[in-house]
Structure 1
Amino acid sequence: MASEYITMNRFKIKPEFADAYLKVWQEADVSAKSMPGLLEFRFFKLDAKKDGYVLFSSFARWQSKEDFLNWTKSEHFRKSHSTGPKNREMYVDRPELECFEVLI
């Protein structure tokens, strides 16, 4: 039996680009609400100051790991990630993806 799968991505963004970065996400249609297996999507900004960056994070809850992997092969994935290269100047470091199998 497949279990739920959680993906979280952390983005360290230069403070002067924080507002523009949020706009990129708002315009990218990243919620993937029509994607099979997506149960929930959230986008966060840490409510605390970090030295030299603003921390954003995405959270997605999938019905299964297979659903997530299928999404990574989809046209929606390619479209929603197409802005990455042109926005590299906004990043302090590379995004950090963490994936979790839900156990309980």
Structure 2
Amino acid sequence: MYFAMNRFHVAAGQEEAFEAVWKARDSSLSEMPDFIEFHLLRGDSVPDEGYTPFISKSVWKTKDAFVAWTKSDNFRAAHRNAGDNKAMYLGPPKFEGYTVVEGA
């Protein structure tokens, strides 16, 4: 299994707008071969630094399946308006990918 995550620092006060963007988009993930699940995670606000952390996490059967998603028309369509929301973020998202070593 492969976990693909993007970490976002969402500017304080932009949390609901950020969530709305994610809920409204049609990612078509479920149409992709070997896709397992997706979650948008919200952490506790960091008031001293002016942001709330979020993670978009998708789970795939293999890393190759995730890479195929990133090269697909579905991916391009899901991300076509991402640049419109730059004011919501404190910097770009940080990608992290993990392969499962052990799990239940």
Do Structure 1 and Structure 2 share a fold, with TM-score over 0.5?
yes
Pick the aligned partner of 2:45 from 49, 52, 55.
49
Aligned to 1:22: 19
Structure-2-length-normalised TM-score = 0.90
2:35 maps to a residue whose letter is: L
Closer/same/farther in 2, CA of residues 96 and 89 from structure 1, 3 Å limit? same
Task: Answer yes or no: is the 8 Å Cα contact 2:28–2:74 preserved in 1.
Answer: no
For structure 1, the residue ranges without an aligned partner over 5 or more in a row are none
Identity of aligned residues (%): 34
| Residues in 1 aligned to 2:52 and 2:28: alpha-carbon distance in whole angstroms | 21
Tell me how large the CA RMSD over aligned residues is: 1.1
Counterpart check, 1:61 vs 2:59: yes
Aligned residue pairs, count:
100
Aligned to 1:91: 89
Closer/same/farther in 2, CA of residues 19 and 35 from structure 1, 3 Å limit? same
Q: Which runs of 4+ in 1 moved over 2 A?
A: none
Task: State the Cα distance separating 1:8 from its structure 2 match.
Answer: 1.0
| Residues in 1 aligned to 2:28 and 2:81: alpha-carbon distance in whole angstroms | 15
Task: State the Cα distance separating 1:31 from its structure 2 match.
Answer: 6.1
More helix by share: 2
